[in-house]
A and B are shown apart, each in its own frame.
Chain A
Amino acid sequence: MSEEEVDPIVGEFLIESYENLDQLDQDFVTLEEQPTNRDILSGIFRTIHTIKGTSGFLGYSKLEALTHVGENLLSKLRDGELVLVEEMTTALLAMVDSVREILGSIETAGSEPETNYDELAATLSRLLDAEPEQKPRVGDILIEEGKATPEDIAAAVAGQDTGDERPIGQILVGEGVVAQKDVSKALSKQVSSKGQSAADSSIRVDVGLLDKLMNLVGELVLARNQIVQFTSSNAEAELVNASQRLSMITSELQEGVMKTRMQPIGTVWNKLPRVVRDLSVSCHKKINVEMEGKETELDKSLIEAIKDPLTHIVRNAVDHGIETPEVRVAAGKPEEGTMLLHAFHEGGQVNIVISDDGGGIPVEKVKAKALEKGVITPEQAESMADRDVQNLVFNAGFSTAAEVTNISGRGVGMDVVRSNIEKIGGSVEVQSTEGVGSTFKIKIPLTLAIVPALIVSNGGDRFAIPQVNLVELVRLDRGGAVNNIEKVHGTPVYRLRGKLLPLVYLDEVLELGRGSEVEDETDSLNIVVLVADNRQFGLVVSDIHDSQEIVVRPLGKELKEVDVYAGATIMGDGQVALIIDILGMAQRAGMLSTERDRARVDHQDDDSQLEKGDRETLLVFRGPDDSRMAIPLSLVTRLEEFQWSTIERSGTQSVVQYRDEIMPLIEIGDALPERRSTPRSGEGEGAVETVHVVVYSPEGRSVGLVVEEILDIVESSMDVQRPSSRLGVMGSVVLEERVTELLDLPGIVESLNLLPEPEPQQSAEA
Chain B
Amino acid sequence: MLKEETLKVVINGQEVESSFGKTILECARDSGVDIPTLCFDSRVKATAACRLCSVNVKGRRLPVAACAQKMEPGMEITTDSSDLESMRKTILDLVVSENPTGECVRCEEIGPCELHTLTKRYGSKPGRFHGALSGEKSKDTNPFIFRDYSQCILCYRCTSVCGELEQAHAIVPAGRGFGSRIAAAFDSGLLDSSCTFCGQCIQTCPTGALMDRKMLGQAKASEVTKVKTVCPYCGTGCGLNLHVANNKVIGTTPDWDSPSGEGSLCVKGQFATDFVGHKDRLKTPLIRRNGVLTEATWDEAYDLIVEKFTQIKEESGPNAFTFWTSARATTESNYIMQKFARAVIGTNNVDNCSRT
A binds B: no
